[in-house]
Amino acid sequence: MPSGRHQATLDEIYETFVVNAPFRPRRELIFRALTLYIDLVSAQFSACRYWINGGFVTHKPWAEPEDADVVVVVPPGEHSKVRQPELLPLLTLASGGAKVHPMGGLIDGFIAMDHPAALLTWELTWSSVRDEQHNVVPGVSKGYLEVSA
């Protein structure tokens, strides 16, 4: 996918990264988790966007995707909702290298405030290209998806 953020619908994502991608059974499972995740998180905010990245939005022939990486971009005035008990089970929690992933490990979910300074790190991270050993490939960038809900 070319560098940058690309608008997409869930139907387009399903067609491109489930129907027309390798490892379809695993991708079907991840997609079902992704759509439910979006429904659950969207209910907590007045508006949000979802930046979707990771192996799920690639066609790597050497390994099936483990999960979908998602950053939920929320309005600045609603960022404090991150600490609400209803939302905590929907976020990836990391401590000392260990992680707890929502949706049975099918989603790696994070929240970012919709502000340029807050989003810059995610834009850089989501644009990074990694090789088969998960090392960042210097000087190469890729695109990621954005779904509005």
Number of domains in the chain: 1
Total-model pTM: 0.91
Q: Beta 68-74 vs 49-53: how paired, if at all?
A: antiparallel
Question: What type of residue is 97?
Answer: G
Distances 25 to 20, 60, 66, 69 between C-alpha atoms, Å: 12, 15, 12, 18
Residue in the block written with tokens 């401590």: 95
Distances 6 to 52, 64, 108 between C-alpha atoms, Å: 10, 23, 19
What tokens were used for 86?
């209803």
Domain range for 112: 4-148
pLDDT tens digits, one per residue of 27-66: 999 999 999 999 999 999 999 999 999 889 989 888 899 9
Diameter over CA atoms, the chain: 42
